[in-house]
Structure 1
Amino acid sequence: MVTVADVRALARTLPRSSEHLIHDRVKFRVGRLVYVAFSRDEQTMGFAFPKEQRAGLVAADPQLFLLPPASDLRFNWVCCRVARLDEAQMTELVTEAWRMVVPAFLARQRLG
């Protein structure tokens, strides 16, 4: 099972990434843009994800992925159940979420 500490360890390696505690929730940002956020109980993790692909992701694995609250549907955002997430999936989701909020040249430098 993935923990906040696992995400933190990865996020620390991503350029311009910073961690914040906002309203008792751990969030990772680049500048003012949040790319990963945990629920208060750390049971779910929200992450940046293209809106147009969100329904397909949730439909592909509804045990793992879920839509964000209605108030967040306007954002490029989706959520997952942390207990069902493995290390490889977490690495891919967090890295791709980070890629969405950094300048393209920085993503290319880091990820190729």
Structure 2
Amino acid sequence: MLDAEDVRRIAMSLPGTAEKEMWGHPTFHVVNRMYITVPGDGTSFAVRCPRYERDELIAAEPHKFWVPPHEAGSSWVRARLATLEDIGELYDILVDSWRQAAPADLAESFVPPGPGRP
């Protein structure tokens, strides 16, 4: 089963990432822009997600994705680690959030690993 250490390992493998503790839990930043948080007990994580995509994700897979009421106005979505299919799905979600936060030149120069990912 996937856990918060898998999130950390993937996040730290992405260019320009730094880990910082905020609000009492780990957060991951690229060039000082946060793109992942691992709140609470580490069974879920939050990533950047445009609101129009977020609504579609939640509607399609409500068992996997949700937004707490206090984050409803943000461009973030949470995902339950236990519901992800495999490490590849986790990797894709984290890279997508990283690309939204990374400077364009860094994001464009990044070539992720091929099939199977990490």
Q: How many residue pairs are counted as aligned between the two chains?
A: 111
> Structure 2 regions of 5+ residues with no counterpart?
113-118
SS at match of 2:13: coil
Counterpart AA for 1:11: A
Deviation at 1:70, TM superposition (A): 2.7
Structure 2 residue 24 is matched with structure 1 residue 2: no
Give the structure 2 partner of residue 82 of structure 1: 81
Deviant stretches of 4+, over 4 Å:
none
Give the structure 2 partner of residue 54 of structure 1: 54
Write the distance in 2 (CA, Å) between the matches of 1:73 and 1:62: 15
- Aligned residue runs from structure 1 range 13-92, under 5 A: 13-67=13-67, 69-85=68-84, 86-92=86-92
TM-score (norm 2): 0.85
Write the distance in 2 (CA, Å) between the matches of 1:40 and 1:53: 24
The root-mean-square deviation of aligned C-alpha atoms, in Å, is 1.5
SS at match of 1:62: coil
Give the 3 Å change call, closer, same or farther, for CA 23–9 of structure 1 in structure 2.
Answer: same
Give the structure 2 partner of residue 11 of structure 1: 11
